[in-house]
Amino acid sequence: MKVLANDGISKSGIKALEKGGFEVITTKVAQEQVANYVNQNNVSVILVRSATKVRKDIIDACPGLKIIGRGGVGMDNIDVEYARSKGIHVINTPASSSESVAELVFAHLFTGVRFLYDANRNMPLEGDTNFDGLKKAYSNGIELRGKTLGIVGFGRIGQAVAKMALGLGMKVIAADKFVDKAEVKVEFYNGQFINVEFETEPLEDVFKHADFITLHVPAQEGYVIGNEEFQLLKDGVGIVNCARGGVIDEVALLKALDSNKVAFAGLDVFENEPTPEIQILMHPNISLTPHIGAATLEAQDRIGTELAEQIISLLKNEK
């Protein structure tokens, strides 16, 4: 059987699939050519990340598809229920990238509270001529320790963020429509650990009490944070979005940044990918990354291996 990994797959994933008797194709096929390619090459499994979309048209056009796999958590680029109604397995790897995304959240938070988003732009330009001036400009940073982190969306990634926040000595408050309680295990070098129990709070309370907000929700209708929600936030709040573009109203965010309602933002995802708005890209108080939350070597290895294990388990009796 053939597997088309259209958005790539780790070497460990390829190795595991080939060991299981599958042929892995890593050719990048353009979105409009996916259905033709799948049919012409008798592909049984298509693996995607966020770039390739597997909608009803592809599902209808490819009767030979047995599995659609998503490397990562969200499956908003796949018509999941429709695929399953046609007897196609739809799989993902929700646990594989949690720590990588959580670490990127803190990369943006540390960048924000110590002005690295600005210092990294200005030091190459003025570091040799205005060192003392830049030193003074960036000397009012704050610590994360002791501050309150508001986590919107308390699934696997949200809980991984909470664990790291606890390690930094932060206070954590979380909101989630579907999670009432969660237990976060914080492990230590010598084998000891502590379990911290969380009860989620109303979203409005998180907005009112958090010094920093981080979003971990799927794509959805409407904004999670728009003009009205920005008014509920503390003055000088920091906001990080490593979840999905479109959950923050970027126009409202720019207004909040310009009025100093929001001190800084960290964005890994954007409303218009892969062509974010130039006003977002050029704003001096935004830390920017190009949708790389799960893009660590460790996460990619876990994703590839986990996808391979699921595929082999589902199709081992059909080859």
What are the tens digits of pLDDT across the range 267-282? 999 999 999 999 999 9
Give the orientation angle of helix 98-113 with respect to helix 116-126, to 10 degrees: 60
244 is an active site residue: yes
**Residue of 244, 271, 302, 306 with catalytic role:** 244
Residue type, 21: G
Mean pLDDT of 31-56: 96
SS3 157: helix
pLDDT band at 240 (very low <50, low <70, confident <90, very high): very high
pTM for this predicted structure: 0.90
Strand partners, 69: 47, 91
Domains, in order of start, for the chain: 2-93+297-315 (3.40.50.720), 98-288 (3.40.50.720)
pLDDT band at 74 (very low <50, low <70, confident <90, very high): confident
291 is an active site residue: yes
Position 317 pLDDT exceeds 80: no
Q: What are phi and psi of 148, to 5 degrees?
A: -100, 125
Position 318 pLDDT exceeds 70: no
**Residue of 156, 216, 291, 302 with catalytic role:** 291
Taking Cα atoms as reference points, which of 74, 112, 105 lies closest to residue 92?
74
User: How far, CA to CA in Å, does 253 sit from each of 130, 150, 246, 250?
Assistant: 31, 17, 12, 5
Mean pLDDT of 261-272: 97
Q: What are phi and psi of 144, to 5 degrees?
A: -80, -30
> What's the pLDDT score for residue 72?
87
**Residue of 103, 201, 273, 309 with catalytic role:** 273
| CB 38, CB 65: distance < 8 Å | yes
